Amino acid sequence: MRRPARLPAYRGIPVRRILCLLPLVVVGVWAVQHRSLIGSGARQMLTANPYWLLTAVATTGLGWVAVSFARQGAVLERLPAKRLFATQFAAGAANHLLPSGIGASAVNIRFMTGCGLPAARSSAALALYFLAEATTRIGLLVVLLPAFPEALHLGPLLPDRVGTAVVAGVVAAVCALVLGVVMIRPVRRIVRTFLRTALADARSLHTRPSRALALWGGSLAFPLLQAAGLVAVGLALELEVRPPHVMLAYLAATAVAAVIPSPGGIGSVDAALVIALVAAGAPVDSATSTVLAYRFITVWLPLIPGALVLGTLVRSKIV
């Protein structure tokens, strides 16, 4: 197994040692800035049913297992299982430090290149994972929305013409991206090479049932486990919304929040989840309490352990 390139010292300062400590420093600053939210989530959990809260913790842990399967399914080579799981746990912490999943993506690319995969194939595997995860998430929405058409009532919560504005913004962004790819020759060449590599890897992966099952099964299980965690927190706090409606609210909220580039979805996911739960019939205060407790379990509770694992992986030259 090829190790990542050794990071040099700059004027006598060990760069790798600084990088080991950097996640803890950033997490500490983040925790101080969001101490009121963390305290609110902790206070809500003190009055909740502990068994349902433990269920939410368990689904969060299983979510990292599901992501590990999906990451393994995106590459032909066999990745070391224990290191892969540790990397996903650490990537969760990195994901809350940088916007739009950049932190988790950087950690995973570093891990895969350290396992001997070329950078182009690591990037292609990352893109395939995101494609599978987005496809399964949208597929779940397509299945659940017709099954529970009365679950979400967004009309009273959103201003007029907001849907038109969102659609127009998405179309404009897509058009700008396409024009950039078509008109800029170096970008066009990079995109062509990337797509050729990604398509070749995707075809090879789907000739191996074990890899295809890991990729699509893990990608499907992850949002279901996350939604089940929100259901468990809702039951712990006696949220008066049916569990299927809570799951649909989670899928819809995270799909919308994914287009807002905030670190770990802080702010965007919270607001979207509260709006979705209110649209599903929950009172505003109950929805807010449920989201705070849920985010405490899935974000704030694993943040410091995840940063410690990330520092250990950097120090061990695994990432």
pLDDT digits (tens, 9 = 90+) for 66-123: 999 999 999 988 999 999 999 999 888 887 766 656 778 888 998 999 888 888 788 8
Query: How far is residue 138 CA from its own chain's centroid?
Result: 15
* 3-state SS track over the chain: CCCCCCCCEECCEEHHHHHHHHHHHHHHHHHHHCHHHHHHHHHHHHCCCHHHHHHHHHHHHHHHHHHHHHHHHCCCCCCCHHHHHHHHHHHHHHHCCCECCHHHHHHHHHHHHHCCCCHHHHHHHHHHHHHHHHHHHHHHHHHHHHHCCCCCCCHHHCCCCHHHHHHHHHHHHHHHHHHHHHHCHHHHHHHHHHHHHHHHHHHHHCCCHHHHHHHHHHHHHHHHHHHHHHHHHHHHCCCCCCHHHHHHHHHHHHHHHCCCCCECCCCHHHHHHHHHHHHCCCCHHHHHHHHHHHHHHHHHHHHHHHHHHHHHHHHCCCC
Specify the residue for token string 């049932």.
Answer: 209
Which position has the higher pLDDT, 202 or 61? Answer: 61
pLDDT digits (tens, 9 = 90+) for 170-221: 456 556 655 655 566 665 666 666 667 667 777 888 888 999 999 999 999 9
pLDDT digits (tens, 9 = 90+) for 268-280: 677 788 888 888 8
- At 157, the amino acid letter reads L
Within 10 Å of residue 277's Cβ, how many Cβ atoms? Answer: 28
List of residues 6+ apart from 13 with CB closer than 8 A: none
State the Cα–Cα distance between residues 79 and 81, nearest whole angstrom.
Answer: 6
Q: Please report the pLDDT score of residue 64 as a whole number.
A: 94
Q: Please report the pLDDT score of residue 261 as a whole number.
A: 54
